[in-house]
Every structure is written in structure tokens, then in C-alpha cells.
Amino acid sequence: MADKLIGACIIGQSGGPTSVINSSAYGAISAALAAEEITQVLGADHGITGVLGDKLYDMGLEDPAELALLKNTPSSELGSCRYKLADPDVDDTDYKTILEMFKKHNVRYFFYNGGNDSMDTCDKISRFMAKSGWECRVMGIPKTIDNDLVGTDHCPGFASAAKYIATSCMEVSCDSRVYPTGQVTIMEIMGRHAGWLAGSAAVGSRFGAGPDLVYLPELDFDMDKFLADVETVYKAKGNCLVAVSEGVHFADGTFVSEAKASSTDGFGHAQLGGLASRLADAVKAKLDVKTRAIELSLLQRCGAHLASKADVDEAELAGRIAVESAIAGETGKMVAFERAEENGEYVCKTKLIPLTAVANAEKKVPLEWITPEGNFVTDEFIDYVLPLIQGAPERPTECSLPRYAKLRKIKA
């Protein structure tokens, strides 16, 4: 057991929000408020930028009932940022400011909730504090709908987005085959480099409603192959539903969404708009069928009304474990998940991994979880996702609409 370290803590949220990042905040805040070692619990406004600008809120002054509603509130309630800290060997200005703020508020614990960029931020701060001689324990809390952090079985936020995507694809699959004349429907799903979310679109297909074709960014995208796939399905079923990752790219690395119009890429004329519209236009030009492009956009990362209970609970757990581990002496680590089974049931266990192992790395969908045809995911993929999306959390409502946390945000 490490020496008792007494002082304030800061909790910050970073990167793209999710449906459950506030559940991690709640896990960390409630554990910190309960810890005798922690003298004050500070929430950073817009992540590290709130630390740099001394915009810190005293979480101890919040109504506990409102804090508990964070579990039901999508997006980053404290505000997020995409601020990238410089290499401290090149420019340590920001780090000196951070140290100053840590000293001002006697901050001895720093918890940062985000993706791989945020773990890099965490790691840099951790090293600078160590070098400066300011004793401070730094812990990362994972978060990303993209599910692309290495060293963890899955990431908080992924499952709720996956459940939203799978459910929405099931619904659209019902809707898009309603008329006697067929339709090719293209659904664009987030995930620039990893296809975890796009693959999740396929989960409902096991239960009879979902996409016919799924394209992940792990493989090169071939427009001719894509059009041939669509034609085959359309001829057989009179309809076709496609789920496609926003990150699909041609063999030369060009994103399909950004490809310049040319006669060779399947786009007959100048293209604006998103990937789904582009692909729908290419299908229309080739097959002369009715098309519809749907982009799930922000909806998929804030659809908290469809959150997975497993995800909400695990996100909270990650926040709590970060605090408890730091109090026990850990630093420079991220909380990670291990998948286990107890009595034949899925259980989620936690472990700690070094921040350095996570920072700036990406975990992609294993190629063997994509079908040999390259246009769907395998049963292994669906078996991986299913336990994560189980259960519906209790969702407090007001007049049948979601009731979100209303924080007072009183400056410390």
C-alpha cells in the first residue's frame, strides 16, 4: 500500500462525447467525494482547457440527486475539448500552467476520461509532474464509441452506440422494404479507422432485420465490387440495405467520402455531401433504382435513450476504479476491461494498463471477423458485441422525455 496522499482531485472529459461518458464522470466523482484522502473534487470545464484556464467546478457543491442523473445524461456534461498538448521537450508552457493550477488547488489526483489522444495527454502530464517533483497520481478512464483503444476488451461508450446503430438498422430495414418498388438504402456509420460501429449494424441481422451488406474500413473499398454486391442482393430480394463506415477508403488510401469526381471511381459527376449520398448516387447511376442515403451522424453517439445497461454500469465502474486505484497508489495507468464468464454469463473485470501502451495506438476489427467476401461480419463479431449491449438502464423521465442532470457548476 502506497503512502496516503491527501489533496484535491480534478476530473476532466475529453474527445468526442458518448452516451455514457457522464456515467464514468459519476463513478469517479462519487468515489472521490466518498474518499477521505480527497479534500475537494473539481470538475474541469472542457477538459484540460478548463485546467489551463482555471475554470474548475466544485463537485461537492452539487445536489447528489442531480449528480446521480449523470448516468442518464448523454454527452460530456462538464464540456469536452480536442486540445493537444505540445511535446514538453519542445514547449512546456502549458505544463507549467497546469502545474501552477495543481499547486494552487493542491491537486494530487488527476483523472482524465477520453480516447487515445486523451491518454497521451494524461501520460504527458503524468511525466511532467513526476519530473517537477509535484506528487500527483494520474489515471486515465477509457471512453470512445469507436472501440479502438488497445489493451482493453472494449471501451465504455461503444456498446450504447452499437445498440443504437443495430436497433436503428433493424427499424430502417423494416421501413425501407415497404413499397412494391424496391430501394437501395445506404446507412453511414461513424468510425474513421476502425469498423467496430459499422460492424455492429449487422447485429440485428441475426434476429431477422438488419443490413444485407456491411463495409468496414479495415479492408480497401472497391467500387465495382460494391456495386456488384448491391446488384446481386437487389436482384435476389428486390431491396438492399447497406451499412458503411464513414472511413471506407480506396486501395490508395483516399477516403471514398473525399474522392474527387472522376470517370473511374463510379462517381459520374461532381459530388458534394456525405459518403452515404455519394454511394447512393453511384448506385443510382449504375443500377437506376430508387436510393436513400441516411447518415446516423451525432445521433449514434448521444442516443442515451437506447443506452446499454451493461455499458452504463461498466462506464461508472471504470470511473470508480480509477479513483480507488489512485488512492491505493497507482499512477500513469488506464483502467481497462477484461471479458470473463461466470456461470456461463458474461462478466466484465477491470485491470490497469500503462498509459503509454494506449496513447496514440488503435485497435481495429480482426480481419478474420470480416467475411471472405469482405461485405459482412462473421458470427464471432456478433458474439463479441451481443453481451455488451444487454439491458436497459432505468431512465428517469419528465413527461415521458429524458430527465438530464442539471449541475450548478460553481467555480472553485
> Mind telling me the catalytic residues?
146
Number of residues forming the site for its own copies (CB under 8 A): 65
Mapping DSSP to helix (H, G, I), strand (E, B) and coil, where does residue 217 land? coil
Q: Closer to its own copies at the Cβ: 65 or 399?
A: 399
Paired strand residues for 354: 333
Torsion sign across C-alpha atoms 387, 391, 395, 401: positive
118 touches its own copies by CB under 8 A: no
Residues 271-310 that bind its own copies (CB under 8 A): 271-274, 277, 292, 294-299, 301-306, 308
Residues 283 and 289 sit within 8 Å (Cβ to Cβ)? yes
Interaxial angle between packed helices 158-175 and 309-327, expressed in degrees from 0 to 180 and rounded to the nearest 10: 170
- Interaction of residue 254 with its own copies, rule CB under 8 A: no
Task: State which of residues 203, 248, 334, 352 lies at the interface with its own copies (CB under 8 A).
Answer: 203
106/297 with CB nearer its own copies: 297
Nearer to its own copies, 41 or 275 (CB): 275
391 binds its own copies (CB under 8 A): yes
**Cβ nearer to its own copies, comparing 80 with 375:** 80
133 counts as binding its own copies under rule CB under 8 A: no
Four-point Cα dihedral 46, 47, 53, 59, nearest 10:
80
Residue 237 binds its own copies, judged by CB under 8 A:
no
Contact 275, 246 (CB under 8 A): yes
Question: Which residues, other chains included, contact 52 with Cβ-Cβ below 8 Å and sequence gap of 6+?
Answer: 83, 94, 97, 98, 101
- What is the Cα–Cα distance from 48 to 8, expressed in whole angstroms? 16
Rule CB under 8 A: is residue 1 a binding residue for its own copies? Answer: no
Least Å distance, CB 122 to its own copies, is 19
For position 65 contacting its own copies by CB under 8 A, the verdict is: no
CB of 61 to its own copies, least distance (A): 20
Give the DSSP per-residue string, 234-291: HHHHS-EEEEEETT-B-TTS-BGGGPPP-SSSS--S---S-HHHHHHHHHHHHH---E
Length of the chain in terms of residues written: 412
Mark residues 80-109: x for contact with its own copies by CB under 8 A, - for none. Answer: xxx---------------------------
Work out whether 68 is an interface residue with its own copies (CB under 8 A): no
- Sign of the CA dihedral with 279 first, then 389, 167, and 205 last: positive
Q: Is 346 in the site for its own copies (CB under 8 A)?
A: no
43 binds its own copies (CB under 8 A): no
Position 239 contacts its own copies (CB under 8 A): no
For 278, 282, 408, the CA distances from 256, given in Å and listed in that order, are 8, 11, 44
Site string for its own copies, 137-156 (x = CB under 8 A): --------------------
The residues that touch its own copies, with contacts defined as CB under 8 A, are: 17, 46, 49, 73-77, 79-82, 163, 166-168, 170-172, 174-180, 185, 203-204, 207-209, 270-274, 277, 292, 294-299, 301-306, 308, 386, 389-392, 398-404, 406
